[in-house]
Amino acid sequence: MYLAAAGAISARLFHHQGPQHKLAALFAVIALVAHLYLLTTTIFLQPGQDMSMTNVASLIAWLISVSMTLASFSLSSALLLPMVYGFSALVIVLQWTLPAHHIMYLQMKPALISHITIALMAYGCLMIAFLYALQLSYINYRLKHRQASLLHSSLPPLMRVEAVLFKLLLIGTILLTLSLLSGFFFLDNMLAKSQAHKTVLSCMAWLIYVAVLIGHYRYGWRGKRVVASTIVGAILLTLAYFGSRFVKEVILGRF
């Protein structure tokens, strides 16, 4: 269903009437409901919760897909939705082909639940900001090369995309700040050898996002500098969230 939704958008992306939004939305809603059911059956076990890397990635993919689908009703996201839906489909395939398990007992640790929830929200928000940064760069490229007419029906206004990008960066950075503070406050192993790289990479990403926001609101930064910084921050945050877990749970766990 995710692939069908992506196909319904991509097939008429260059058409003068634009993509088939109603058909794509139907496929997307079916995919999101089925994906939610899959998450409830793979994560919520008795006893405990399976917070493996593939399950967490699937949860984040679902959150991003829901957010982008809802956002598409107010701001055209035809350039981004095929990537979002395609990524969600890929993650679901990885859940089947690369099974991994990491059982936790979150019901016994309410502080840990808060930290994980805020961290997932921060990551999801900043990954959506990353997607908007890519869209902003693409629209700007088309406009500079006088090729905007090729995707005229699917291109949202440049300034509106930029405004949404900075709102997402602001919200995501606030959530990331709360995530780091809650981690230092509630967890004892944030600077332990097994967790230090995650903390350092997350802090580096946080510094980049803070610098971008200060640079924009105080010095008027925009364009390539903002896009490049957002991409670097997203890469650092992804390495912090999934880097070591991929090696431990997927590579070492499989071979």
DSSP 186-251: H-S-TTSTTTHHHHHHHHHHHHHHHHHHHHHHHH---THHHHHHHHHHHHHHHIIIIIHHIIIIII
20 and 60 part of one domain: yes
Q: HSE-up of 70 (CA within 13 Å, CB side)?
A: 7
Residue 31 in this model has a pLDDT that exceeds 90: yes
150 and 47 part of one domain: no
Q: What is the mean pLDDT of residues 108-133?
A: 88
Amino acid identity at 7? G
Residues of the domain holding 10? 1-108
pLDDT-based confidence at residue 107 (cuts at 50, 70, 90): low
**For residue range 162-193, what is the model confidence (pLDDT) as tens digits?**
999 999 999 999 999 999 998 888 777 777 76
Rounded to 5 degrees, what are φ and ψ at 104? -130, 160
Radius of gyration of the chain (CA): 19
Cβ–Cβ under 8 Å, residues 123 and 240: no
Structure-derived torsion over alpha carbons of residues 15, 6, 67, 103, reported in degrees to the nearest 10: -170
Q: What is the pLDDT of residue 244?
A: 65
Domain final residue, candidates 108, 126, 158: 108
Domain final residue, candidates 108, 129, 152: 108
- In the chain, % of residues over pLDDT 70: 85
116 and 96 part of one domain: no
How wide is the angle at C-alpha 235 spanned by C-alphas 232 and 236, nearest 5°?
90
**Rounded to an integer, what distance in angstroms lies between the CA atom of residue 92 and that of residue 87?**
9
In the chain, the number of structural domains is: 2
Domain final residue, candidates 78, 108, 138: 108
Cβ–Cβ under 8 Å, residues 155 and 76: yes
65 and 114 part of one domain: no
Q: What is the pLDDT of residue 255?
A: 45
* The pairing of beta strand 49-50 with beta strand 103-104: antiparallel
